[in-house]
Amino acid sequence: MTETATASVVAASIADSTAGSKSEQAYQAIKARIVEGTYTPGYRLVLAAIAKDLGFSVVPVREAIRRLEAEGLVKFERNVGATVAGIDPTEYLYTMQTLSIVEGAATALSAPLVGEADIARARAVNAEMRDCLQHFDPVRFTRLNQDFHSVLFEHCPNPHILDLVHRGWNRLASLRSSTFRFVPGRAHQSVDEHEALLRLIESGADADTIEKAARLHRSATLDAYLSQTNLKDHS
Amino acid sequence: MTETATASVVAASIADSTAGSKSEQAYQAIKARIVEGTYTPGYRLVLAAIAKDLGFSVVPVREAIRRLEAEGLVKFERNVGATVAGIDPTEYLYTMQTLSIVEGAATALSAPLVGEADIARARAVNAEMRDCLQHFDPVRFTRLNQDFHSVLFEHCPNPHILDLVHRGWNRLASLRSSTFRFVPGRAHQSVDEHEALLRLIESGADADTIEKAARLHRSATLDAYLSQTNLKDHS
DNA sequence: AGGTACGAAATCGTATACGAAACATACTGG
DNA sequence: CCAGTATGTTTCGTATACGATTTCGTACCT
């Protein structure tokens, strides 16, 4: 297979992996670049350009983009092209609200299956987050935040819901930095709520209580963001 | 544009509409056939065959199938092909559970925006459903059921959530007939719950109450199905 | 000078073509 | 008679090619 010499290094390194079809490879590559921030929101995704860069033809790239569109990571307009889905404040609001609901549900469903080891791991992550509050690094903090919540919802027995949660997180990841960059004050409170959430799960609280707590935890972040940006247009 | 003469009548009639790209047309056509039941679960979707039948090449068909895959209507296996996603009892369970959550949320968010006219319309539909209980027709009943709930959640201001609800309904539509075919006893109770739900919304009940009611309404159907089919494997 | 119409370039959409993988079948060797 | 391998057919995966559509720049008219 004579890979085009112009294929970028990063693309090649991804393509080399055992990933099957080129569609899949393209999907992974583009997604990575969006999440990582190489392709910033609003960036115009030109099929031919990406294809040349990745070293294969446009057909797999098209499919990859369609998949990303379905996930909401890119916006697609017929006969015009695809752009990286920006995080329109409104979109952000919608995504956070949706995530609050599905993540809340996933966490509640997951709770009975969360063992002591998981709790311990989550607590360790939360401790790191607390440390992180000193010399505050929003990006790192957000990363830890995802780790923390992952522990809590990954045991969710319903794969559909779990998938929805992952999609939500992915969309938020497009926000290169993090919510906490905009509302640093929220970070401190967030850590405390994490501990409270852990206690709830440990004590075997009923599903409804856990769900509400998890949902509120996220809504609070959203509200903090909203009051910060003076968005009157509240759904 | 020389359309192949062998294109099936139904495909042509759909294609004639103002629908834009062939991708889109293919998507609509295939989806229609799945929902309508022409392609039953497990049916093997051969790209070339569908392409020939619809009158255009395989490329748009591929894209359409990928989209349907993202929506969960078809299952896809690399180098093997696509099949209509059956409704594995387990899958059914997952879908219903997910729908109970997102539809509950959508209904609650929608409630404040539901006007008297909407309520009246919903009530009319529910009356039809009650009639329908006499000479019971599961398919018709399910149709009305969707109409009823549509009125209640279509005003949901969050398009993401609304989209999730639609996807859920679509998946359930793959069930050619209806849940109520399996648990006809549930139909009667369902109508009563609908009226209760309407009263709640009319009285301006708080979001949480409405959400719980809507969610429970669906969970109850799921539970009825489960106890019917003796599925011990309860998530 | 401003706006509109025309045309060229860029980019997308789809068809056709060929190579690769998976599955079914028949054949050969034990 | 059975097992394992070889071969053929089906179907998918991707590349290339060309037509269609949009967009942008430029020239012309008012």
Task: Break chain B into its structural domains and give their ranges.
Answer: 9-84, 89-229
> How many Å does it take to go from CA A46 to C1' C5?
29
What's the confidence (pLDDT) of residue A64?
A: 93
> Choosing among A78, A160, A161, A212, which should be mutated to test the B contact, i.e. which has the most B CBs within 10 A?
A160
Phi, psi of A74 (to 5 degrees): -130, 155
CB pairs under 8 A between A and B: 59
**Rounded to a whole number, what is the distance in Å from the CA of A216 to chain B's nearest CA?**
12
A157 to chain B: which residues are within 8 Å by CB? 235
> Which strand (E) or helix (H) includes residue B66?
helix B58-71
- The A44-45 sheet, strands edge to edge: A44-45, A81-84, A74-77
Alpha helices in A111-206 (DSSP H): 116-132, 138-153, 159-173, 179-182, 184-202
Judge whether residue A12 has pLDDT over 60. no
Show which of residues 86-125 on chain B sit within 8 Å of chain A, judged by CB atoms: 94-95, 97-98, 101-102, 105, 109
Per-residue flag: A59 CB under 7 A of strand D:
yes
| Amino acid residing at A25 | Q
- Residue B198 burial by Cβ neighbours in a 10 Å radius (0-12, 13-18, 19+): buried
CA distances from B4 to B18, B38, B57, B61 (A): 19, 22, 10, 15
The pLDDT tens digits of the residues spanning B142-193 come to: 889 999 999 999 999 999 999 999 999 988 887 666 678 778 889 999 999 9
The pLDDT tens digits of the residues spanning B67-113 come to: 999 888 999 999 999 999 877 788 889 999 999 999 999 999 999 99
Query: Rounded mean pLDDT of A105-124?
Result: 97
Check CB contact under 8 Å for B20 and A62: no
Q: Which of A37-51, A76-90, B3-17, B219-233 shows the highest mean pLDDT?
A: A37-51
Question: Could you tell me the two tokens for A228?
Answer: 């910060």
Query: Rounded mean pLDDT of A134-144?
Result: 87
| Lookup: nucleotide whose C1' is closest to A4 CA | D15
What's the confidence (pLDDT) of residue A232?
A: 47
Phi, psi of A81 (to 5 degrees): 135, 180
The domain A89-229 having CATH identifier 1.20.990.10: the answer here is no
CATH architecture for residues A9-84: Orthogonal Bundle (1.10)
Question: Across the interface, which of A62, A78, A95 has its CB nearest the CB of B63?
Answer: A62
B95 to chain A: which residues are within 8 Å by CB? 160
What's the confidence (pLDDT) of residue A234?
A: 43
Check CB contact under 8 Å for A66 and B66: yes
The pLDDT tens digits of the residues spanning A195-211 come to: 999 999 999 999 999 99
Check CB contact under 8 Å for B105 and A109: no
Which of helix, strand or coil describes residue A103?
helix
Q: Is the dihedral of CA A47, A53, A58, A61 positive or negative?
A: negative
What's the confidence (pLDDT) of residue B179?
A: 76
A158 to chain B: which residues are within 8 Å by CB? 94, 97-98, 235
Max Cα–Cα distance, chain B, nearest Å: 59
Label residue B230 by pLDDT band (50, 70, 90). Answer: low
CA distances from A235 to A73, A102, A223, B142 (A): 22, 18, 12, 31
Q: Which of A140-144, A180-184, B111-115, B230-234 shows the highest mean pLDDT?
A: B111-115
Label residue A230 by pLDDT band (50, 70, 90). Answer: low
Check CB contact under 8 Å for A67 and B71: no
Check CB contact under 8 Å for A159 and B59: no
* d(C-alpha A21, C-alpha B169), whole Å: 31
Q: Which of A82-91, B199-208, B225-234 has the least mean pLDDT? A: B225-234
Query: Rounded mean pLDDT of A152-178?
Result: 88
Judge whether residue A146 has pLDDT over 80. yes
A164 to chain B: which residues are within 8 Å by CB? 98, 164
Judge whether residue A4 has pLDDT over 60. no
* d(C-alpha A175, C-alpha B32), whole Å: 37
Contact A217, A193 (CB under 8 A): yes
Residue linked to tokens 């409630």: B111
A1-36 core/surface letters (b: 16 or more CB in 10 A; e: else)? eeeeeeebeebeebbeeeeeebbbbbbebbbebbbe
